[in-house]
Structure 1
């Protein structure tokens, strides 16, 4: 699908900045402006929230929502879209696995500058985008880490004490349960944390607590 630039933004985004191709198209000032003035933009709203008749993140053309004049009148146009060379846009969103147990989505915008007589996206581009969206979503779901199973309250209590360096006997005494029960809780917790032993479990539990 021919385009002059691409913007790729995961939600939630651990970095806090979208990726662009070519790289570095959006500076900090442009991103701050976009964060402040993007809410009235119907293409942003439909892509990020899936509201309206477009469905949840379905491919959409900017020209289907606003005239050229209305687009140029948007607060984000001068400082953001014009910088991107986004005279024409096609945007969509799709699921991309999980981050820390929370579902992640990727919002993707393909831009055409209009220079050299480049035309707006057409119906065949939308059809291509539908296929591309399905394949990207499938690939990212497959490549993403699996969703962690929930640790029970009792398993969490055992892990808290193990992470503090207590032995199984000490954990059993603190929680008024048998050492065998502590072993069982740890066995289940190892599987849920995808670790192979006590030290790994303690490290993983401490890391999760920090997050």
Structure 2
């Protein structure tokens, strides 16, 4: 899997979210291509306890009937990931195989009624937003082979990046609502960072150290520091935290 490509997909989607633009279709398609999943499903719900989610699919199947969607949603409480999410609130990426064997999974109603018909055996799910109101879940499936430990680890910074963007956008919408004004169309962005500088900041924004960022990108910690120094100069900021704060503001322009 192209981990740098995965971060680029996350960065583009984060920028769309911050700017109030549609993101689910591009994110689903980008993940399908970069990850090599047979199907990517993104659920977005703004009142998940009472409303059915908006479901975006990329790959196979390209569409589901209303009845199929409703049946899938009705079986969510049987999904091992959802069971763990509701019990623990843990939104991180997990494979179905982290919870149970394939044989046991094949005995569940959600497998028999949904995934077996689609011939999907291996799943990984993550939740970038899980609040009292909002729920955003990203699921990826494969027919032939499971997601590896390395792939699952690589999904963590992606999830964190999308989560930060969703939280930022939610706060902006709340402020707009509180002052009773229409949402403002953002002016064109003028990002001056290189692709690598963006990648470094995207990882640091998720809480990684310089050394961890270097390992993720396959470069040296010294190179990470050089990229940060370039950002410090361009943004006229003194520290990593200030650089990340500046970078997030650029996403919101």
Name the TM tier (shorter chain). 0.5 to 0.7
Aligned residues: 144
What residue number does 1:21 align with? 58
Q: Is the 8 A contact 2:129 2:136 kept in 1?
A: yes
Q: Is the 8 A contact 1:5 1:84 kept in 2?
A: no
Q: Is the 8 A contact 2:41 2:58 kept in 1?
A: yes
What residue number does 1:126 align with? 152
**Alpha carbons of structure 1 residues 36 and 84: separation in structure 2 relative to 1, 3 Å:** same
Q: Distance in 2 between matches of 1:128 and 1:104?
A: 24
What residue number does 2:180 align with? 193
What residue number does 1:38 align with? 76
Q: Distance in 2 between matches of 1:136 and 1:85?
A: 29
Larger radius of gyration: 1
Q: Secondary structure at the match of 2:92?
A: coil
Residue by residue over 1:149-195, the C-alpha shift from the partner in whole angstroms, topping out at 9 and shown as x without a partner, is: 599xxxxxxxxxxxxxxxxxxxxxxxxxxxxxxxxxxxxxxx71125
Residue by residue over 1:49-93, the C-alpha shift from the partner in whole angstroms, topping out at 9 and shown as x without a partner, is: 3x34xx521111101111111111111213311344421011010
**Alpha carbons of structure 1 residues 148 and 5: separation in structure 2 relative to 1, 3 Å:** same
Q: Distance in 1 between matches of 2:90 and 2:54?
A: 22
What residue number does 2:100 align with? 66
Gaps of 5+ in 2: 1-34, 183-253
* Larger RCO of the pair (alpha carbons < 8 Å, separation 6+): 2
Residue by residue over 1:8-57, the C-alpha shift from the partner in whole angstroms, topping out at 9 and shown as x without a partner, is: 0012267743111137433222222223333132222224x3x34xx521
- Between Structure 1 and Structure 2, the one with more helix by share is 2
Gaps of 5+ in 1: 152-190, 196-211
Summarize the alignment of residues 73-152 of structure 1 with structure 2, pairs less than 5 Å apart: 73-95=107-129, 103-114=133-144, 119-143=145-169, 146-149=172-175
Q: Secondary structure at the match of 1:18?
A: strand
Q: Is the 8 A contact 1:91 1:107 kept in 2?
A: yes
Q: Distance in 2 between matches of 1:141 and 1:85?
A: 35
Q: Is the 8 A contact 2:45 2:53 kept in 1?
A: no
**Alpha carbons of structure 1 residues 125 and 150: separation in structure 2 relative to 1, 3 Å:** closer
**Alpha carbons of structure 1 residues 129 and 36: separation in structure 2 relative to 1, 3 Å:** same
Q: What is the root-mean-square deviation in Å for CA atoms of aligned residues?
A: 2.9
**Alpha carbons of structure 1 residues 16 and 93: separation in structure 2 relative to 1, 3 Å:** closer
What residue number does 1:208 align with? none
